[in-house]
Each structure stands twice: as structure tokens, then as C-alpha cells.
Amino acid sequence: MRWRLFRVGFTRAFNLSLLLLLTVFLLNGSGLVERDQNGRLRAFTRPLEFDYTRWTLQTVGIKLSHAALNTPGYLPVEQQPEVVVQYLHLLEQIWQVQDEIETMYADPAVQDPHTAAAELNVELEGLLQERDWLQPLAEALLEAQVSQVAAEVGLSLGGQTLPPVQFHMTPPPAALIVSPRSAIRQDDNISIAPGLSMEEIEALEATVDEALDVSSLVVGIGGIGVYPTMVMETNNLNWLAEVVAHEWIHNYLSLHPLGMRYLASPELRTMNEMAASIAGMELGAAVIARFYPQYLPQAPSPFLWQFGPPQPRQVEAFSFRAAMRETRITTDALLAEGKIEDAEAYMELRRQFLWDNGYHIRKLNQAYFAFYGAYADASGMPGAAAGADPVAAGVRALRDQSANLAAFINRMAWMASYAALQRAILPDG
């Protein structure tokens, strides 16, 4: 008993120390924290940029204060998944009440919405207080579950994940993606504070495009591999487990050459994202199977960052994936011939075609493909936004020939160039 208490206390102290040290390291060195590579671009975005330092320090404070209490340690193991599910149901309640309040303020038949929504506002305040209390506990429990699964597959050091799995659900920033018009290549990825209106987003893109003669696009993201990881608020447990695992893999890779060189080339960025996508899918599915078997999906669901809007509810003969793949390949060919205006006109025609078939993409341009192509489908199905990307295919090939997930990730982690991946997938690699 004394040994168990000592081990628990030592592990908690170890994790707290690592949290402080790795937060500083990953905040300053993570490939996902943007660097000032284009002063002209930052002149437009600086007032709108997300403050990572402030968010991280606030989140670390929350994590440290809760870790000191070790609340999860007092919960019976069989009750821990119930707490996570309870938290996700609470989020759904909050959103429903918020929708009711917004409806009252929008309803022309309601003369005094402030009075009419008074009871709902009181209810909402109580729900938000309950959320603020329950969220750190639910996050800590899911962190422990992902850590346990990661350790079991061999992604740990002495049974301890390094860095420890740490995440916080919060509205994440958007990303302003910038590509040259003459090629599909992500040159800049600037994190923009959440909450911009669509009018403000369109104005920012138009200003950047005109001033710099580039292709830009503001996209929403589900998580960011800072430390602790930032994850979008959701009540979808399968999605959440996958994203937490995906972003932890980014943290893991940040301590190795592949993560440290995230921004060194488009190929390395795709290698990093593909590795995280594959591992996130596998680890997330294992967490659900182990702790939440009742939530196992009936059929494999697309990876969280699929390319474009969700599939229409009715099964149709039209294939979004095939159409997008064709679009990407044709666009690449036009750009390779120097036909920039033709490529842009073609992409707009294809966007309208996709819209008519139920896929409502706001803007289809070079920046769209530059961003979503990096998240090439980890399932191995024919690519969509990635087109005929050999990098994504190479990462999938390495996973297929690896003995297990740990062997795959640990081999990817030490790669510092695309050439290293090419050598690895050779018959004698």
C-alpha cells in the first residue's frame, strides 16, 4: 500500500514537472506555432492573431491546480467513463439552452426577449458553472485513458507517455492559409482569433490576395498541437478521442526530428500530419473499444479532417472524393503549364459543380488544396484534396509494412527529410 501511494505521488510530481518544462519547450519550438516568415502578411493579420502564450499560461494554471487535487484518483475505475459521458451530455444541454435563448431574441413575436429568456439565462448560468467544475475532471480522465492505450501499444517510456497526454477543450483559432497562385504549396499558416464574422473573413482574404498576389483561405480547425493541446469543444466522443490522440502524436513528434522540422518543407508537413492522422485513428478507436464500447461506430467513419463538408445524408451515386481528386489533378496540370487564370476559373467551375451536388464549399482555390492536401486520407482510400500526392502514399505504405503502430511512429519520428521516407519504403529499406 505504501509503495502504491509513493508511486502515485511520484507519478503526479513527475507529470507536473514535465507539464511545466514541456509547455515552455513546445510553446517555443512546436512546428504548429507560427513563425514570422512573411512580414507583409503579418502586417494584415497581426491585430487578428491568436495569443498562444496567454492561452497556454491560463490553461497550464487550470491543469496544475486540478492535478494537485488528483481528483481522478478517488473515482472508482468503472465510474470514470461515466463522468466523461456526463460531461459531453452537459455540453449538449448547454448548446440547446443557448439555441433557445438565441431563438427568443430572433423571434419577432417576442416583444421583450430579455424578460422572456430570464429563466433560461438562469438555467444557462447554472449549467456553465457545472461545466467549469466538471471539465477539468473529464479531461483528466480521458487523458489517462489515451495515455493507457498509448502505453499499451508501446508509445511510452517506462509506462509513461512522453510528453504526458494533456489537452483542453476550447474554441480554437481559425487558420489563414496562404499559397502562391502559381503552385499549390502552403507558404504561411497564421492562427487567427476565433469569432470573426464571415464578412470579416472574406475581407481579410480579399485584402491579402490583392496586396500579395497570393491565394488565401481562412479555415476552421479541430485541434492544435501546442502544449497542452487545444481541442475544439464537442459532444462527439469518437471524434474527441481521435483528436486528442492525433494532437498528442504531434506533441510526441515535436520531441523528434520530424516534428522539429514541421515547417521545413511541404513534404515534411504532410508526413507529420499523415502520421498523426493514422495514429489518431488507431489510438482513438482503441480508446473507444476499451472504455466506451457502447459508442463504437457501426461503420468506419471518415477521419475528422476530411476534405470538404460532411457527406449528404442520402446515399448518392455522385462521389465527392473522385470529383475532388479529378479537380486537384487537373488544377496541378494547369498550374504546371503556367495557366494560373485558367486553373482558378476551373476551380470555381468545379466548386459550383460540387455545390450543385450537395457539397457546399465556400471557396475552392490553391490555399484550399494546400491545407487539406496535407491531411491526406489516412484510411488509404483514393485521395481527394491530396490528388496524386506520393508523400501521403509513402506514409501509408510505411504503416502497412510496419509490424505495429509504435514501430511506425518511432520510425517516422526520426525522419528529417522526404528522402528518408523514400528510402524506408524501398524493398530493402
Average pLDDT over residues 117-146: 94
| Predicted TM-score of the model (pTM) | 0.76
Question: What band does 164 get if pLDDT is binned at 50, 70 and 90?
Answer: very high
- pLDDT value, residue 426: 85
pLDDT in tens, 347-401: 999 999 999 998 888 999 999 999 988 665 555 444 456 556 788 889 999 999 9
DSSP lists the bridge partners of residue 276 as none
- Whole-angstrom CA distances from 311 to 222, 243, 359, 395 are 18, 20, 8, 26
- Whole-angstrom CA distances from 131 to 137, 278, 362, 385 are 10, 31, 33, 37
The gap between the terminal CA atoms of the chain, to the nearest Å, is: 49
- % of the chain beyond a pLDDT of 90: 58
Count of Cβ atoms closer than 10 Å to residue 63 Cβ = 24
DSSP string, 338-380: T-HHHHHHHHHHHHHHHHHTT---S--SHHHHHHHGGG--TT-
What phi, psi does 167 have (nearest 5°)?
A: -145, 165
pLDDT in tens, 277-317: 999 999 999 999 999 999 998 654 444 433 334 444 444 57
Of 267, 108, 81, nearest to 185 (Cα)? 267
Of 350, 357, 361, nearest to 317 (Cα)? 357
pLDDT in tens, 198-240: 889 999 999 999 999 999 999 988 888 788 999 999 999 999 9
Give me the amino acid identity at 386. Answer: A
Domains of the chain, by residue range, sit at 233-424
Q: What helix, strand, coil percent values describe the chain, rounded to 5?
A: 60, 5, 30
Instruction: Determine the Cα–Cα distance for residues 140 and 12; give it in Å rounded to an integer.
Output: 12
Q: Is the peptide bond before 309 cis (omega within 30 degrees of 0)?
A: no
Rounded (10°) CA dihedral 163, 164, 169, 170: -40
Which one has a higher pLDDT value, 72 or 366? 366
Least confident of 41-45, 102-106, 364-368, 396-400: 102-106
pLDDT in tens, 317-348: 788 888 998 999 999 999 999 999 999 999 99
DSSP string, 105-150: HH-TT-S-HHHHTHHHHHHHHHHHHHHHHHHHHHHHHHHHHHHHHH
DSSP lists the bridge partners of residue 175 as 191, 219
- pLDDT value, residue 61: 84
Please give the helix or strand (H or E) that residue 219 lies within, else none.
Answer: strand 214-219
Residue 173 predicted with pLDDT over 60: yes
Residue 10 predicted with pLDDT over 80: no
* Helices and strands: H and E segment counts in the chain: 16, 6
